[in-house]
Chain A
Amino acid sequence: MKEITINVIDETGKKHKIVSPLEMGLNLMDILRSHDLVEGACGGMALCATCHCYIESEHETSSQKDDELAMLDQLFTLDEEKSRLACQIPIVEALDNIIVKIAPPD
């Protein structure tokens, strides 16, 4: 099975290197949650922002839908350049070696 590497900086600043399978239709929140790095309370519906993260590398992530933009717009921890909801980012090969920083709780 093909895999990619995801670099994560958690809320305390600790770095994690995670290997994620490609062919299971996972999103970034699924992977981060399985490593106890985000809560992902709403299960991926862009409803809770408990998977809010900052994309710290130049990787191009999937385009943002209105639901995600509306949710991000309400967050006090928003970084207009880097903020994403991990649940809205499908895991694809192009994300190999991406650097993701977990946002502080809002």
Chain B
Amino acid sequence: MIKTDIIIIGAGPCGLFTVFEAGLLKMKCHLIDYLPIPGGQCSEIYPKKPIYDIPAYPEILAEDLVNNLMEQIKPFNPGFTLGERAEYLDKSGDNFIVTTNKGTKHEAPVVVIAGGLGCFEPRKPPIQNIKDFEGKGVDYIIKDPELYKGKKIIISGGGDSALDWAIYFAKTANQVTLVHRRNSFRGHLDSVETINKLAQKGEINLITDAEVKKIEGKDKLQSIEIKTKQGEEINLNTDFWFPLFGLVPKLGPIKDWGLELEKNAIKVDTLDYSTNIKGIYAIGDVNTYPGKLKLILCGFHEAAIMCQFAFKKVFPGQKSSFKYTTVLGGIQGFEK
């Protein structure tokens, strides 16, 4: 069990800056993030993009902002659980226990959700019974390609992921069918050329201008029905179907924690950025309130205010004395 004062879910800019503001009030933090590196979107999606609305920086690259924040919070020696998704929330007396998908447990009196856009989850085709076959022949993410060796596989999609896996499985699977709803692909030119060559050689069964419309099976997936734009129906027996239509941001397991939500965001009180669950706060892009602006600088502000109130739960009965860092004569961090 990892014990700390504040569990921060999301290691993006707002989560990182929370460590600083909490540290000034002598509260220790531990961050959990599904991504394997800190920085959230700034590190994962647009590290080389310049940001222009950080006060005092006319222009700063997203990755530099993250690096600076990591440097700024170093004295406060935060803990990190990276590459794991915060999955479950439980109470233990006055404390919360947050458990990740890999079973790592964290305990603290305060939880701060700074999850940004949330977790990126696979976009699922609108087929009514698709849920019945998830993990039973329908897989959105291919974790262990060895599992599919010698099997019949159907892949849907026209992007890099669909093309790359179709090329890969052409060598190892018993049969590969690639279904795409248009007759051109958006993947890399090299991949598109390879797919066309494999199709010509008969190593991939290529069906374009078509979509999977029905899936069937008894205990697991057995067959799918494809419909072409011309109205032709094609039925294929298969062991697996991989619908690879990219990722869509979702709140993830947090949505089941009993928090009051509005349009995929967590409602907060702007007095202290508290949620409807006492001791759980939400800051940054993941929260919503009247007049909300999804800006990093607003998330920083929310972190600073929120920490003043979190202090009362971490140190009940003690009075926090707000001091300017210039008056403190520098930052007094924690010993390792």
Determine whether B186 belongs to the interface, using a CB cutoff of 8 Å to chain A: yes
Contacting pair B186 A106 (CB below 8 A): no
Contacting pair A70 B249 (CB below 8 A): no
Which listed residue (B117, B182, B186, B246) contacts A41, Cβ 8 A?
B117
Contacting pair B245 A48 (CB below 8 A): no
Tell me, rounded to whole Å, the shortest Cβ–Cβ distance linking A26 to chain B: 14
Contacting pair B117 A42 (CB below 8 A): yes
Tell me, rounded to whole Å, the shortest Cβ–Cβ distance linking A25 to chain B: 11
Known A-B contacts A47-B45, A73-B159; A39 and B263 likewise in contact (beta carbons under 8 Å): yes
CA distance A69 to B246 in the complex (A): 13
Determine whether B48 belongs to the interface, using a CB cutoff of 8 Å to chain A: no
Contacting pair A74 B285 (CB below 8 A): no
Q: List chain B residues, Cβ under 8 A from A66.
A: 186
Tell me, rounded to whole Å, the shortest Cβ–Cβ distance linking B263 to chain A: 6
Contacting pair A49 B248 (CB below 8 A): yes
Which single residue of chain A is at the shortest CB-CB distance from B118?
A41
Contacting pair B186 A70 (CB below 8 A): yes
Determine whether B279 belongs to the interface, using a CB cutoff of 8 Å to chain A: no
Interface size of B as a range? 20 to 34
Tell me, rounded to whole Å, the shortest Cβ–Cβ distance linking A78 to chain B: 8
Q: List chain B residues, Cβ under 8 A from A50.
A: 249
Tell me, rounded to whole Å, the shortest Cβ–Cβ distance linking B41 to chain A: 8
Known A-B contacts A73-B186, A74-B123, A74-B159; A43 and B294 likewise in contact (beta carbons under 8 Å): yes
Interface size of A as a range? 10 to 19
Q: List chain B residues, Cβ under 8 A from A74.
A: 123, 157, 159, 245-246
Which single residue of chain A is at the shortest CB-CB distance from B295?
A43
Tell me, rounded to whole Å, the shortest Cβ–Cβ distance linking A52 to chain B: 11
Contacting pair A106 B46 (CB below 8 A): no
Contact indicator per residue, chain A 63-88, by CB within 8 Å of chain B (1) or not (0)? 00010011101111000100000000
CA distance A81 to B192 in the complex (A): 23
Contact indicator per residue, chain A 13-53, by CB within 8 Å of chain B (1) or not (0)? 00000000000000000000000000101110101111000
Using CB atoms and an 8 Å cutoff, list the residues of chain B in contact with chain A. Answer: 41, 45-46, 117, 123, 125-126, 157-159, 182, 186, 245-246, 248-249, 263-264, 285, 294
7 nearest A-B pairs in the assembled complex, by CB-CB distance = A74-B246, A74-B245, A73-B186, A70-B186, A48-B249, A43-B294, A76-B126
A-B contact pairs, 29 of them (CB 8 A): A39-B263, A41-B249, A42-B41, A42-B117, A42-B249, A43-B285, A45-B41, A45-B45, A47-B45, A47-B117, A47-B249, A48-B249, A49-B248, A50-B249, A66-B186, A69-B186, A70-B159, A71-B246, A73-B186, A74-B159, A74-B245, A74-B246, A75-B123, A76-B123, A76-B125, A76-B126, A80-B182, A106-B123, A106-B248
